[in-house]
Amino acid sequence: MRRTLRTATRASVCTLALWLLAGCATEPRLLLPTSSEGLACIAVCDAARSRCVSFETTSAELAASACDNSQQVQTCVDRAVDDRTVLACEAKLSTGHCPGTAPSLGPCNEDRLMCALQCGAKMLDP
């Protein structure tokens, strides 16, 4: 079980990194303010985005883990009395693909963009 958790953690970190890169790619380039007030304001925007991304990622991981029923299926197989019961247990195994378990980072990026514009940032891309 310990090995499974390490693998799952590594996979989660890789997934998070990919989603963060994908999220960054969709945001337009900005010319950030250079004043100390503007930079402090942008720092608040970035912190809010980080909290949003963390929440969305955690929510997606929880949804994915709730979809994984392999432990319940293994318990069912362990208690099976014949091959027919084993097959019935295995038929209930989730494929691991759960719709809607990818983090939704669009709102996090949009909120950060709007916040940065309110701080005085200017969009460089149309």
From 12-16, 23-27, 56-60, 61-65, the region with the lowest mean pLDDT: 12-16
DSSP 35: S
Q: The pTM is what?
A: 0.56
Q: How far apart are CA 41 and CA 118, in angstroms?
A: 9
Phi, psi angle pair for 123, to nearest 5°: -80, 135
Of residues 75 and 4, more confidence is placed in: 75
Long-range contacts of 70-75 (CB under 8 A, 24+ apart): 70/94
Domain segments of the chain as ranges: 2-123
- In angstroms, the Cα distances linking 14 to 35, 57, 73, 106 are 35, 12, 27, 19
Can you tell me which residue has the tokens 């891309």?
125
| Per-residue pLDDT tens digits for 92-116 | 776 555 666 678 899 999 999 999 9
Can you tell me which residue has the tokens 């303010």?
33
| Per-residue pLDDT tens digits for 77-95 | 888 888 888 888 777 776 5
Q: How far apart are CA 23 and CA 62, in angstroms?
A: 20
